Chains A and B, each alone.
Chain A
Amino acid sequence: MGKFRKKGKKETPGISTASLPDIIFMLLFFFMVSTVMRTESLLVQVRAPGATEVQKLEKKSLVSFINIGPPKDENLGTKPRIQLNDQFATVADVREFIHAERQALDENERQFMTTSLKVDKETNMGIVTDVKQELRQVGAFKINYSTRRVNELNY
């Protein structure tokens, strides 16, 4: 009967880690693909002002951006312009832009829509005020002044 007794102690085989790189690569590709950054080419120069009391903008899908600043192309002058989506716009276009952005959202999410104003720090408030008035008219009340986070402001 001793014929079938195995010789020595039975060793548990180590788990093969050969598939680990594949799993990690899968994760890697998932993150690379799913975090597509907004590749909106900026036509205006936006140097955000610094602030200490900043809040994070949550739920990026609910945020629409309005860029205001001097054009990057020097031939277009230095006067601040508004950029919506991928093109220059005027104050009057803001209304339509907000309507379009709102249409793209779910009905129950529309009330949480936020408009982020990315404004160059050397812009005059005149154009910003005009945009704000326009936003009030279309009922986009939640706004966010985009700023950089700094630890201390020097006055």
Chain B
Amino acid sequence: MARKTPEIPGSSLADIAFLLLIFFLVTTTMDIDMGITRKLPPPPKEETEIPDIKERNVFKILINKNDRLLVEDKPGNIRTLREKVKEFVDNPYGKDNLSIQKTKNIEHLGKVEVSEGVISLKNDRGTSYEMYIKVQNELAAAFNELKNELAKEKFGIKYEDISNQDYIDAIDKAIPVAISEAEPENVGG
């Protein structure tokens, strides 16, 4: 009588397949593209007038071809940019050289002060993309921090943790991300 060869256990096959499955699941979701989202303005029409914006409502940032900053007509530093932008938009002490605050009644939030300030960003053709992204990142960070502060104050949670779309819209309305990019030109060095 021939000896029976013992059967190879097949129960571990499922585990191996599971491992592979999880590997593919994880590696394919890691490929998510990330970035800073911005909205471009529509192209200028000839008949449109330049909107009348008060000087104090504009926060000017210039980046020259050597990646140096000029913030509000003074040489600036990327490290202090975030705080300066926050102060400009928020204007907590009502200074008359920072943005004008208008009290608005927004649903879910009640009366809040909405800034009329606009960040004007201008760069040279020779500015490096890295520096440009750094500045954009600082601007995004400033607005995100302001949104977080407001969300904490009103709802007790961070802005990114809000799940109710109405609340998100309300915060977005209270802190509009107003970044204006000038028509390109050579600002030089």
Contacts and interface: CB of A to CB of B under 8 A. Distances in A.
Given A32-B24, A56-B34, 9 more contacts: A20-B14, A51-B133, A54-B34, A125-B128, A129-B184, A145-B36, A147-B137, A149-B34, A153-B137
Contact of A147 (B16, B24, B28, B36): B36
A83 B136 CA distance: 24
Contacts of B24: 28, 31-32, 35
Given A31-B21, A52-B137, A155-B78, A146 B35 contact: yes
A149 B35 CA distance: 8
Given A28-B21, A121-B129, A153-B134, A21 B10 contact: yes
B21 A24 contact: yes
Interface residues of B, number: 44
Interface in B114-154: 123-130, 132-134, 136-137, 140-141, 144
Interface of B: 10-11, 13-14, 16-18, 20-21, 24-25, 28, 31-43, 78-79, 123-130, 132-134, 136-137, 140-141, 144, 184
Given A28-B17, A135-B40, A155-B79, A128 B32 contact: no
B14 A24 contact: yes
Interface stretch (A1-9, A89-97, A98-106, A112-120): A112-120
A146 B34 CA distance: 6
Most chain A Cβ neighbours within 10 Å, of B11, B16, B17 = B17
Size class of the contact patch on chain A: 35 or more
> Which 10 residue pairs across A and B have the least CB separation, nearest first?
A126-B125, A53-B140, A121-B130, A24-B17, A21-B13, A35-B28, A57-B33, A54-B34, A51-B137, A144-B35
